[in-house]
Chain A
Amino acid sequence: MSYVLETRGLCKSFGGIVATDNVSFKLPAGARHALIGPNGAGKTTFVNQLTGVLTPTAGQILFEGVDITGWTVRGRATAGIARTFQINQLFADLSPLESVVLAISERENAGAHWFKPLGARDDIVNEACALLDALGIGDVRAARVGALPYGKQRLLEIALALAAKPKLLLLDEPAAGVPESEREQILDVVARLPESVALVLIEHDMHLVFRFAKTISVLVNGALFCEGTADEIARDPRVRQVYLGEEDVGHG
Chain B
Amino acid sequence: MSMAPHSKLDGEAGARLLAKAQWRWYEVLFWLAAISLYFVFGDFIPGIPTKLMLLSEIVSLGLLALSIDLVLGYAGIVTLGQGAFFGLGAYVAGVMAKAGMGVFPLSDPLLGLLAAAAVCGIAGFLTSFLVLRGSDLTRLMVTLGVALILAELANQMRWLTGGADGLQGVTSSPILGQWDFDLWGRTAYLYSLAVLFVCFWLSRRIVHSTFGLSLKAIKGNALRARAIGVPVNARLIAIYALAAAIAGVAGALLAQTTQSASPDMIAFHRSADALLILVFGGAGYLYGGLIGAVLFRVMQDVIGAFTLQYWQFWLGLVLVLLVLFVRGGVIGLLEGWWNRMTRTGDAP
Interface residues of A (CB under 8 A from B): 51, 53, 72-74, 77-78, 82-83, 85, 89-94, 97-99, 101-103, 105-107, 110-120, 122, 125-126, 128-130, 133-134, 136-139, 141-142, 160-161, 163-164, 184-185, 188
Contact A73 B226 (CB under 8 A): yes
A119-B2 contact in complex given A89-B221, A94-B216, A114-B212, C-beta closer than 8 Å = no
- B8 → chain A, closest Cβ, in Å? 10
Size class of the contact patch on chain B: 35 or more
Q: For residues 93 through 112 of chain B, which have their beta carbon under 8 Å from a beta carbon of chain A?
A: none
Interface residues of B (CB under 8 A from A): 1-4, 6-7, 9-10, 13-18, 20-21, 205-206, 208-214, 216-217, 220-221, 223-232, 234-235, 238
A113-B210 contact in complex given A89-B221, A102-B217, A118-B17, C-beta closer than 8 Å = yes
Contact B227 A113 (CB under 8 A): no
Contact B213 A125 (CB under 8 A): no
Contact B16 A119 (CB under 8 A): yes
Q: In the complex, which of the residues A82, A117, A120 contacts B227, with contact meaning CB atoms closer than 8 Å?
A: A82
Contact A91 B14 (CB under 8 A): no
Contact B14 A136 (CB under 8 A): no
CB contacts (< 8 Å) of A117 on chain B: these are 17-18, 20-21, 205, 208-209
List 6 interface pairs A-B (beta carbons < 8 Å), by A numbering.
A51-B227, A73-B226, A92-B221, A119-B20, A129-B9, A136-B3
Which of A90, A103, A188 is packed against the most chain B CB atoms within 10 Å? A103
Q: In the complex, which of the residues B6, B229, B234 contacts A78, with contact meaning CB atoms closer than 8 Å?
A: B229
CB contacts (< 8 Å) of A113 on chain B: these are 209-211
Contact A89 B223 (CB under 8 A): yes
Residue of B nearest to A114 (CB): B211
CB contacts (< 8 Å) of A185 on chain B: these are 2
Q: In the complex, which of the residues A125, A126, A128, A136 contacts B4, with contact meaning CB atoms closer than 8 Å?
A: A136
Rounded to whole angstroms, the CA-CA distance of A142 and B21 in the bound complex is 15
CB contacts (< 8 Å) of A74 on chain B: these are 226, 229-232
Contact B210 A105 (CB under 8 A): yes
Rounded to whole angstroms, the CA-CA distance of A171 and B221 in the bound complex is 19
- A235 → chain B, closest Cβ, in Å? 32
Contact B14 A125 (CB under 8 A): yes
Residue of A nearest to B224 (CB): A89
Q: In the complex, which of the residues B1, B212, B221, B235 contacts A118, with contact meaning CB atoms closer than 8 Å?
A: B212
CB contacts (< 8 Å) of A94 on chain B: these are 213, 216-217, 220
A114-B205 contact in complex given A74-B229, A94-B220, A101-B213, C-beta closer than 8 Å = yes
Rounded to whole angstroms, the CA-CA distance of A102 and B6 in the bound complex is 21
CB contacts (< 8 Å) of B14 on chain A: these are 119-120, 122, 125-126
Residue of B nearest to A186 (CB): B2
Rounded to whole angstroms, the CA-CA distance of A103 and B21 in the bound complex is 20
Rounded to whole angstroms, the CA-CA distance of A90 and B216 in the bound complex is 12
Which of B6, B9, B20, B211 is packed against the most chain A CB atoms within 10 Å? B211
Contact A93 B209 (CB under 8 A): no
Rounded to whole angstroms, the CA-CA distance of A229 and B152 in the bound complex is 69
Contact B228 A77 (CB under 8 A): yes
Q: In the complex, which of the residues A77, A118, A134, A142 contacts B229, with contact meaning CB atoms closer than 8 Å?
A: A77
- B182 → chain A, closest Cβ, in Å? 36
CB contacts (< 8 Å) of A141 on chain B: these are 13
Which of A105, A117, A130, A164 is packed against the most chain B CB atoms within 10 Å? A117
- B230 → chain A, closest Cβ, in Å? 6
A119-B230 contact in complex given A94-B213, A97-B13, C-beta closer than 8 Å = no
Contact B229 A160 (CB under 8 A): no
Which of B1, B3, B210 is packed against the most chain A CB atoms within 10 Å? B210
A91-B10 contact in complex given A77-B228, A85-B224, A103-B229, C-beta closer than 8 Å = no
CB contacts (< 8 Å) of B226 on chain A: these are 72-74, 77
Rounded to whole angstroms, the CA-CA distance of A105 and B4 in the bound complex is 24
Q: In the complex, which of the residues A77, A78, A89, A118 contacts B208, with contact meaning CB atoms closer than 8 Å?
A: A118
Contact B213 A102 (CB under 8 A): yes
Given pairs A91-B216, A110-B210, A117-B17, 16 additional interface contacts (CB within 8 A): A51-B227, A77-B227, A77-B229, A97-B13, A98-B17, A106-B214, A106-B228, A106-B229, A114-B211, A119-B18, A119-B21, A125-B14, A129-B13, A130-B6, A133-B7, A136-B4
Which of A114, A116, A117, A137 is packed against the most chain B CB atoms within 10 Å? A114
Q: In the complex, which of the residues B6, B214, B216, B224 contacts A133, with contact meaning CB atoms closer than 8 Å?
A: B6
Q: In the complex, which of the residues A78, A90, A102, A126 contacts B210, with contact meaning CB atoms closer than 8 Å?
A: A102
- B7 → chain A, closest Cβ, in Å? 5
Rounded to whole angstroms, the CA-CA distance of A118 and B17 in the bound complex is 6
Which are the 4 A-B pairs with shortest beta-carbon distances?
A119-B17, A117-B21, A114-B211, A106-B229
Rounded to whole angstroms, the CA-CA distance of A188 and B238 in the bound complex is 42
